[in-house]
Structure 1
Amino acid sequence: MKTMFFLPKRYLLAMAISLASAAALAAAPAPRLKLQSWSQAEQLSINALAFLPGPSTTERLASAREGLFLLDAQGRELTRLKGSFEGVDSRAQGANVLVASLDSTRQQALIVSLDPQNRQWDTPLYLPVRDFPVNGLCLYRDGASNLFVFLVGEEGKGEQWLVGNGERLSDSAQRVRGLPLPPDAKTCQVQDSANQLFVNEERVGWWAYPASSEAETVRVPVAMRAPFGDLRQSAGAMAVLPGGLLGLDPEAAQLHVYQQQGEGWSAKANLPLAGLKEPENLAARLTKSGIEVLLRDDDNGHLYQGEISWKPTPVPLPPVLPSVAAIVQSEPVARQGDAADDPAIWVHPTTPGLSRVLGTNKKQGLLAYDLRGKLLQELPVGRLNNVDVRANFKLGTQTVDLAVASNRDRNSLSLFSIDRTSGELREAGEITTPLKEIYGICLFQPAEGELYAFANGKDGRFVQYRLSAPDGVVKGQLVRQFSVDSQPEGCVADEQRQRLFLGEEDVGVWAVDARAEQPATLSRVIEVGQTLHADVEGMALYQAGGRDYLVISSQGNDSYLVLDAQPPYAVRGAFRVGLNAAAGIDGASETDGLEVTSVNLGGPWSQGMLVVQDGRKRMPEQAQNFKFVPWADVAKALRLP
């Protein structure tokens, strides 16, 4: 797992764009701003303004020492929520509007539903009192209709809270994650469609972060203070639009206009705010002819409205992938950092509800969970990376099921017998390999009485072993070796077609004949590109009723790809494992290993189960774990036949 604060290449790119944009300004028609006083509302001690959501609405929202207000276009009060408030942000909620603000008296953030038609406020939902002063807040609705609020606190403290889903406000707020922010950040805004969170750093500039709760913590600059950008004094309040950002420099009394260009931003205009001494609050929305804005002068409390004769160009966005939710998650592993890696599913031969999910902890050993995610066993045998399971293995005179894992401590295969009645795991031996850095593993069982293990190393080398234990001790006979050009890891064997699928992390997925006596000729299944994003990680097969699907962890964009497991390997779709608001289970991201079964395990698992490793555990933030997803939900999301 990686935590970064900005990317130097992007930073330099943004600097270059900012420095080059001055020449472009002279050549392009310059945006213009016309402001006029908005005098009707000046009898109130307003500190923040916002447009009511909706393309044709004329009402405005305001926070003040006298309450939260719904105002008409002239600033006349329509309704108020009594109290003393600072800051305001909003999102549509069906016919209603959800409004976020800070209660100055209680020193707490709140979300409240407003019925603008009947001019009625509902009971507010308060976030718990924080252990840091909150400077600002903003709302965010993701592609799965989850509603979040970001808190911007002093000394770089930031938090993301889940407060609703769909048109429903939650009964209580749930903390999703902490977020390191600039030490003097005061305000934030989110562009929902782009999943971007914008935060100011007063003496430096404006930053963009991924807003998704499952995203990696990175930031890129939007605009910087001189000499690195066009900002003269300080970065204040912002307003965001699709493809654009408006930012206030309150000390220089300027409004900056920016257009997004790929991953960077270019300055379109620096508009002087004549007559304003300390412009503070800023709100904006698109109109047919430009951008409508609302401003407040902190020097005298006067309010202004106006229009900018320019519209940002929306940037292309990645496709919105369907989201499915885990309904069960395992207990977190007992080690911090990048620890959990690969799951396997052991199916009980007579009572499917007693099946187990095995998982590797590459800082500890092998773990076994029940179908409710409760930890049942832990075997501290070393740094296990990948694991796979097959049934009906002859261990001397006994018939057991066998789990095999790659052991990075000894570059070996660690073997475990599984009692077919109780599901209890026991160590069953070890097979040394010639690999220098063992990594992935998968099993192949072409016929009764046969079992093979494929293991790979980071240098691209694969070894294939025939496993047997006639005298009760598992032995491995090396029967084949082959290689790929770069680092592999995930693999899965298709017994029905005697085929092995293997992943080359930065390249794609290959198929090769799994039989030891056949040549290891690679054939391409899918390349890394727009659909499959490196790293290519875990792989599994879903096989039922003639439906054969290959499921792949597309780690680079936190998604999972499903394609036919037969040529021409048609792509059936991609999806994400998103947040389950009702169950309080976070989504899954940065997934290493995964596994799937088509066996009816009962209840929600009647069409099988998908298990994925979660590389970023949120809500609450804990050590990594595994997420359990009903296959029926995947099939529905992708409209699989």
Structure 2
Amino acid sequence: MLPRFPLSGLLALSLSLHCYVGYASTQPLPAPFSDDIETYAIHSIDKQRHVAAHIDPLTQALVVSTLDAGHEHNGARMSEKYRTSSPQADVETLCLFEDEQGVGAFLFDVRGMAKQHYLYRKATKQWELLPIREFAVGGEIEYCTVDNASGRVFMAEEGMGVWQISLAPESELVRHLAPLALNEDTVDITLTSKDSVKVTDEKGKVFTFDAEPVAYVRDDLSLLVVDGQTDPVQRFGDAADDPAIWVNNDDPEQSLIIGTDKKAGLDVYNLSGERLQHLPIGKVNNVDVRQSVRFGTQSVDLAVASNRTGNKLSVFNIDVKTRQVSHLADLPTPLNDVYGLCLYQPKEGLEVLVNDSDGTYLRYALSVDNGEFGASLMEQFSVPSQPEGCVADDQHQQLFYGEEASGIWLRSLADINLSSEKVADLNDKVHADIEGMEIYTFDGQRYLVASSQGNDSYAVYAVDDDMRWLGSFRIAPDIEKGIDGASETDGLAISSANLGAGYPEGLLVVQDGRNVMPSDKQNFKLVSGVKLRNFIRQYR
């Protein structure tokens, strides 16, 4: 547990040791807690106000208060803001953090579970508990501290050493252990330099170790604040993968988002993110949509998904009047591991581009004979390593497709057996894996957006300006709406159409690989095309 300090100078000691504020307290404050309070932490909002959080020793409730420094002749004044209900398990230790959104806490209990919450929101100056994420740490963490400047959380486990994780809620939850013979309670962990850490136990013994490097700085790119999200998919783990957008031309606000749950089937959502349908048709991986597809005199709206249950193509009808999605057919492929997929719509019929994780690409032409769907192979080509995401530009007869570990390729679809060329490489801002991609069009120009999964970002290229990379952005949370940002994105979809009052300049939908605030199954995040358009205008 956090140690009890002498009553005088408690706050000054707390600030200097483990709260990492940017100034020194000029006057020690009287102790804010009684002697029986052992688990507590304090963090400064400004020179006069501090967040004081402690665990009630009787109920184990988290109690959050403000601590005002007072004036020369007045002592500190503590005002309780709220307290939580009793948790399922006793809290072993807690530590506070600060980021651009607010001040929050990590709580570690005796079961080896950790919870991260916001306690105070900066934008609105509201005191409110907002769950961020919950995760297992395994053993009992008996001391923790946060270095806000580097975004690191350090957690001491007796007999094991010090664990390190990233502070950022959207970061990959990877724990690094510095093995240390911690046989006594830890009383301090201090980052003494950029990467050097000092650990002190209750008997004054000092340990040192080198901290793990921070993977990347999360505020080095532009941020587009999220606007909405879908209901989570039905299965835990890496399940949600790829979305597509169907535009209701008669009533754009009634458009649909179609997303894959690669463990359970296909989900259909409205623009508010509510699930309208679940079709349990197999392990569908990627999905794409085309509208007004002509087969002779017949015109239909279709979705096609790559289905890893049987390595086939699953075809769906989208009823224009009822907005119902129905399964029409399954078409076999010879692929060993059917993977990414996108659609190309020439003037007549529909073509499917589908790939295998071994780099093989197959191009099929769909046909309808007496109501029965079929597929004929048009051509086969390949990329040197694993592909997945792709998008076809119907008007320009072009296919853009990603090689996950390398970059983006371009191929003409005007004929068969034409050559491909690589048009974009990775760089210090665009990382592997290159996953989902889609084209956004405005002012008569095309812009390719591709998910850069390795650093939780989205790269934007000016297609009509020799595929010039304009820049990359990340999707940030909207704390007031209680919606987290997006990370580790697989597939994405974009519509440039006016989708009504909520999305008048179109919509970007991305898969969210780490759905937090609170921790839940994966889902899809929604961002207004207005924000995407503004980003492009800033950098083109």
TM-score, scaled to structure 1: 0.76
Q: Give the 3 Å change call, closer, same or farther, for CA 192–394 of structure 1 in structure 2.
A: same
1:245 maps onto 2:183 in alignment: no
Q: Give the 3 Å change call, closer, same or farther, for CA 164–322 of structure 1 in structure 2.
A: farther
- Could you tell me how far 1:106 is from its partner in structure 2? 4.7
CA distance in 1, matches of 2:133, 2:290: 38
- Could you tell me how far 1:491 is from its partner in structure 2? 0.4
1:585 maps onto 2:483 in alignment: yes
In structure 1, which of residues 135, 158, 178 is the aligned counterpart of residue 114 of structure 2?
A: 158
In structure 2, which of residues 231, 236, 252 is the aligned counterpart of residue 336 of structure 1?
A: 236
Calculate the aligned-residue CA RMSD, in Å. 2.9
The code of the aligned residue for 1:372 comes to: S
Q: Hey, what does 2:462 align to over in structure 1?
A: 564
- Could you tell me how far 1:463 is from its partner in structure 2? 0.7
Q: Give the 3 Å change call, closer, same or farther, for CA 93–415 of structure 1 in structure 2.
A: farther
Report the secondary structure of 1:469's partner residue.
strand
CA contact (8 A) 1:200 1:235 kept: yes
Q: Give the 3 Å change call, closer, same or farther, for CA 232–351 of structure 1 in structure 2.
A: closer
Q: Hey, what does 2:496 align to over in structure 1?
A: 598
Q: Hey, what does 2:402 align to over in structure 1?
A: 503
The code of the aligned residue for 1:139 comes to: L
Matches within 5 A, 1:270-419: 317=217, 320-395=220-295, 397-419=297-319
Percent identity, aligned pairs only, is 34
Unpaired runs of at least 5, structure 1: 1-40, 68-82, 226-230, 264-314
Report the secondary structure of 1:50's partner residue.
helix
Matches within 5 A, 1:159-558: 159-222=115-178, 224-225=180-181, 235-240=186-191, 243=194, 244-251=196-203, 253-256=204-207, 260=211, 262=213, 317=217, 320-395=220-295, 397-446=297-346, 448-469=347-368, 471-517=370-416, 519=418, 521-558=419-456
CA contact (8 A) 1:246 1:257 kept: yes
- Could you tell me how far 1:360 is from its partner in structure 2? 0.9
> What do the CA deviations read for 1:326-382 (whole angstroms, capped 9, x no partner)?
322211222222221110000012210110000111122221111111111222221
Q: Hey, what does 1:131 align to over in structure 2?
A: 88
CA distance in 2, matches of 1:346, 1:100: 48
CA distance in 2, matches of 1:580, 1:94: 27
CA distance in 1, matches of 2:38, 2:535: 42
Q: Hey, what does 2:14 align to over in structure 1?
A: 49
Unpaired runs of at least 5, structure 2: none
Indicate the larger mover: 555-564 or 485-494: 555-564
CA distance in 2, matches of 1:587, 1:316: 17
The code of the aligned residue for 1:424 comes to: Q
- Could you tell me how far 1:419 is from its partner in structure 2? 1.5
Indicate the larger mover: 419-428 or 352-361: 419-428
Matches within 5 A, 1:55-66: 55=23, 57-60=25-28, 63=31, 65-66=33-34
Report the secondary structure of 1:556's partner residue.
helix
The code of the aligned residue for 1:480 comes to: E
CA contact (8 A) 2:216 2:455 kept: no
CA contact (8 A) 2:343 2:352 kept: yes
CA distance in 2, matches of 1:533, 1:400: 38
Report the secondary structure of 1:496's partner residue.
coil
Q: Hey, what does 1:607 align to over in structure 2?
A: 505
Indicate the larger mover: 567-576 or 338-347: 567-576
- Could you tell me how far 1:552 is from its partner in structure 2? 1.2
- Could you tell me how far 1:408 is from its partner in structure 2? 1.0
CA contact (8 A) 2:112 2:140 kept: yes
- Could you tell me how far 1:223 is from its partner in structure 2? 5.3
CA distance in 2, matches of 1:128, 1:548: 53
Report the secondary structure of 1:581's partner residue.
coil
Q: Give the 3 Å change call, closer, same or farther, for CA 163–574 of structure 1 in structure 2.
A: farther
> What do the CA deviations read for 1:564-603 (whole angstroms, capped 9, x no partner)?
2235322222222232211112222222111111111112
CA distance in 2, matches of 1:499, 1:586: 35
> What do the CA deviations read for 1:375-412 (whole angstroms, capped 9, x no partner)?
11222221111000111113564321111111111222
CA distance in 2, matches of 1:407, 1:624: 19
CA distance in 1, matches of 2:145, 2:30: 16
> What do the CA deviations read for 1:524-567 (whole angstroms, capped 9, x no partner)?
22223422222211111111222321111111122222222235
CA distance in 1, matches of 2:278, 2:268: 6
Indicate the larger mover: 485-494 or 202-211: 202-211
CA contact (8 A) 1:343 1:386 kept: yes
CA distance in 2, matches of 1:110, 1:242: 33
The code of the aligned residue for 2:493 comes to: E
- Could you tell me how far 1:456 is from its partner in structure 2? 0.4
Indicate the larger mover: 233-242 or 418-427: 233-242
Matches within 5 A, 1:1-16: none
CA contact (8 A) 2:9 2:29 kept: no
Q: Give the 3 Å change call, closer, same or farther, for CA 66–612 of structure 1 in structure 2.
A: same
CA distance in 2, matches of 1:92, 1:533: 36
CA contact (8 A) 1:394 1:470 kept: no
Q: Give the 3 Å change call, closer, same or farther, for CA 191–634 of structure 1 in structure 2.
A: farther
Q: Hey, what does 1:35 align to over in structure 2?
A: none
- Could you tell me how far 1:114 is from its partner in structure 2? 3.8
